């Protein structure tokens, strides 16, 4: 078997050294009646690399590939072009096959990269500090709510109706067990966000206000008045960013007063991958760093005075603090963080601005064309690369009808909010730099037909 180096001769030599007459003797603590005799019945035996590759190729071909069709899906996962050099870097065995950097003398590569990642995330989000990554955006948002609870010692969070419904579901799931109170609402198909509702809901028991920016319908709104109202009541503002490319063009949540900014980093450097692995981004004010979850890389010096990096402030973490830790997170998403950093380093500020401008210009063009289809209305006043259309028919069947024409034409709000009648005609459309003129033509034609 190709991944197992021991030969039959090795095994018998080693058994002799161990002082066992058979391999079974080493398993003697496993009660005999429970031990499996041979390979588990009904399961296939080992296979060649060629055979496995063939099987997996066949499964791969049973999916519609985003890059092979006109593709306009977003809602928390975005298709951007990832330069080849980014994947090359994360496939370096020294990064790919390394562990969490517990031994800093031989992990400076990972640690310095994480220090660069933390700095990039902090600057992009307009925050003072960032951690070395979380699982994804949705779990980061719950961790932020939980962190705000520890900081304010209050247990009520007001969540904007513009937050991704899956993220809200994750928070509701956890809150059920921690008994945190969450004030949630459903979005409306209108250009205005629920900023006024949020501000009106803040009271002396509010721990945090949670806002997504841009939100699930692609809307963008000034966070400063919400931050001001939250701070006046002693609450924190948590901003959630699911499309960080937007921040190349629009103000960061930090500069508008957000205290904790979390996000999904997938859209920079990480592919769609049917939902994972992705990379959670987590940034905050320096004064709150000891309440932060997750790993942190920090700068220090070695015995000879040379600059080096280590994992630090680990007294917050589960392997030291156990049940008193700020989170139970251990393994996070470092390799995806590396892809994020390699891609963002390749872009630089200039490239990020260009990428964001290109996305926005393309989205404006598509919005204009689709809104010209009779019966189709553009919901948003303002947006970055994603906007919502109100169709004259239910959007879910329209999406399936477009699939039949070979077009992946957006996410229907019916999929995200099943059973909510007022949202059934909503279609969320994302437009990135990967969309071609021919894609737009095909989408326009398919949508026209689907709403007829």
Residue 138 binds to another protein (criterion: CB under 8 A) = yes
Q: In whole angstroms, how close is the CB of 446 to another protein at the nearest point?
A: 13
Restricting to residues 229-258, name those near another protein by CB under 8 A: 247-252, 255
d(CA 79, CA 251): 22
Size of the site for another protein (CB under 8 A): 212
d(CA 113, CA 193): 38
Q: Applying CB under 8 A, which part among 112-120, 200-208, 231-239, 441-449 lies near another protein?
A: 112-120
d(CA 358, CA 362): 6
Q: In whole angstroms, how close is the CB of 420 to another protein at the nearest point?
A: 11
Residue 27 binds to another protein (criterion: CB under 8 A) = yes
Establish how many alpha carbons lie within 13 A of residue 185's alpha carbon, considering only the half-sphere containing its beta carbon.
Answer: 18
Residue 19 binds to another protein (criterion: CB under 8 A) = yes
Restricting to residues 275-304, name those near another protein by CB under 8 A: 275-277, 279, 286, 289, 295-304
User: Which residue in the set 70, 136, 211, 450 belongs to the binding site for another protein (CB under 8 A)?
Assistant: 136
User: Which residue in the set 70, 77, 226, 427 belongs to the binding site for another protein (CB under 8 A)?
Assistant: 77
d(CA 31, CA 11): 23
- Identify which of 415, 55, 86, 70 has the alpha carbon closest to the alpha carbon of residue 271: 86
User: Which residue in the set 8, 274, 421, 438 belongs to the binding site for another protein (CB under 8 A)?
Assistant: 274
Helix (H) or strand (E) holding 139: helix 137-152
User: Which residue in the set 8, 21, 36, 374 belongs to the binding site for another protein (CB under 8 A)?
Assistant: 36
Residue 433 binds to another protein (criterion: CB under 8 A) = yes
Q: Tally Cβ neighbours within 10 Å of residue 320.
A: 11
User: Which residue in the set 8, 21, 57, 153 belongs to the binding site for another protein (CB under 8 A)?
Assistant: 57
The alpha carbon of 77 is separated from its chain's Cα centroid by a whole number of angstroms, namely 8
Name 438's Cβ contacts closer than 8 Å, sequence gap at least 6.
Answer: 70
Q: In whole angstroms, how close is the CB of 234 to another protein at the nearest point?
A: 25
User: Which residue in the set 152, 207, 327, 388 belongs to the binding site for another protein (CB under 8 A)?
Assistant: 327
Q: Please provide residue 62's backbone torsions phi and psi, each rounded to the nearest 5 degrees.
A: -85, 10
User: Which residue in the set 8, 21, 153, 179 belongs to the binding site for another protein (CB under 8 A)?
Assistant: 179
Q: Applying CB under 8 A, which part among 118-126, 151-159, 200-208, 232-240 lies near another protein?
A: 118-126
Q: In whole angstroms, how close is the CB of 2 to another protein at the nearest point?
A: 7
Q: Applying CB under 8 A, which part among 153-161, 228-236, 305-313, 369-377 lies near another protein?
A: 305-313
Burial of 22 (C-beta count, 10 Å sphere; 0-12/13-18/19+): exposed
Residue 204 binds to another protein (criterion: CB under 8 A) = no
Contact call for residues 428 and 410 (beta carbons, < 8 A): yes
- Cβ-based nearer residue to another protein, 34 or 374: 34
Residue 49 binds to another protein (criterion: CB under 8 A) = yes
The string of DSSP codes covering 161-224 is TTS-HHHHHHHHHHHHHHT-EEE-----SSSS-SHHHHHHH--TTEEEEEEESS-TTSB----H
Q: In whole angstroms, how close is the CB of 331 to another protein at the nearest point?
A: 4
Q: Applying CB under 8 A, which part among 152-160, 181-189, 199-207, 308-316 lies near another protein?
A: 308-316
Residue 363 sits at the vertex; the CA angle it makes with 388 and 281, to the nearest 5 degrees, is 80
C-alpha torsion sign, points 304, 305, 311, 314: positive
Locate 22 and state its tokens. 């058979």
Restricting to residues 343-402, name those near another protein by CB under 8 A: 344-352, 354-355, 357-358, 360-362, 364-365, 367, 380-384, 399-400
Q: In whole angstroms, how close is the CB of 294 to another protein at the nearest point?
A: 10
């Amino acid at each position: 078997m190709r991944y197992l180096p021991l030969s039959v001769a090795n095994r018998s030599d080693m058994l002799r050294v161990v002082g066992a007459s058979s391999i079974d003797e080493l398993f003697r603590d496993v009660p005999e009646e429970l031990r499996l005799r041979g390979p588990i019945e009904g399961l296939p035996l080992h296979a060649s690399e060629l055979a496995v590759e063939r099987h997996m190729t066949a499964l791969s071909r049973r999916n519609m590939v985003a890059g092979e069709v006109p593709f306009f899906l977003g809602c928390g996962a975005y298709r951007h072009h990832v330069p080849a050099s980014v994947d090359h870097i994360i496939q370096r065995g020294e990064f790919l096959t390394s562990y969490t950097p517990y031994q800093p003398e031989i992990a400076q590569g990972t640690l310095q990269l994480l220090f660069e990642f933390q700095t990039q995330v902090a600057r992009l989000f307009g925050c003072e500090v960032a951690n070395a990554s979380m699982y994804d955006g949705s779990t980061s948002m719950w961790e932020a709510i939980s962190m705000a609870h520890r900081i304010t010692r209050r247990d009520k969070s007001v969540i904007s109706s513009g937050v991704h419904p899956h993220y809200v579901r994750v928070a509701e799931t956890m809150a059920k067990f921690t008994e945190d109170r969450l004030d949630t609402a459903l979005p409306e198909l209108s250009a205005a966000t629920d900023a006024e509702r949020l501000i009106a809901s803040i009271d002396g028991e509010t721990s945090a206000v949670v806002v997504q920016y841009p939100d699930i319908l692609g809307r963008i709104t000034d966070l400063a008045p919400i931050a001001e109202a939250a701070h006046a009541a002693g609450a924190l503002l948590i901003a959630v960013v699911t499309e960080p490319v937007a921040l190349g063009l629009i103000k960061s949540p930090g500069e508008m007063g957000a205290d904790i900014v979390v996000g999904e980093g997938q859209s920079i450097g990480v592919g769609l991958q049917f939902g994972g692995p992705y990379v959670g981004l987590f940034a905050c004010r320096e004064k709150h760093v000891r309440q932060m979850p997750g790993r942190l890389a920090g700068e220090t010096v070695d015995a000879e005075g040379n600059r080096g990096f280590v994992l630090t402030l680990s007294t917050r973490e589960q392997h030291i603090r156990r049940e008193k830790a700020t989170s139970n997170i251990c393994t996070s998403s470092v390799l995806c963080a590396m892809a994020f950093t390699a891609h963002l380093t390749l872009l630089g500020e200039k490239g990020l601005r260009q990428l964001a401008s290109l996305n926005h210009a393309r989205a404006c063009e598509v919005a204009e064309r689709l809104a010209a289809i009779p019966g189709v209305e553009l919901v948003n006043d303002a947006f970055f690369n994603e906007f919502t259309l109100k169709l004259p028919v239910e959007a879910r069947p329209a999406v399936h009808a477009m699939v039949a024409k070979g077009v992946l034409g957006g996410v229907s709000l019916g999929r995200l909010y099943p059973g909510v009648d007022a949202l059934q005609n909503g279609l969320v459309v994302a437009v990135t730099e990967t969309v071609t003129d021919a894609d737009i033509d095909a989408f326009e034609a398919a949508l026209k037909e689907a709403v007829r």
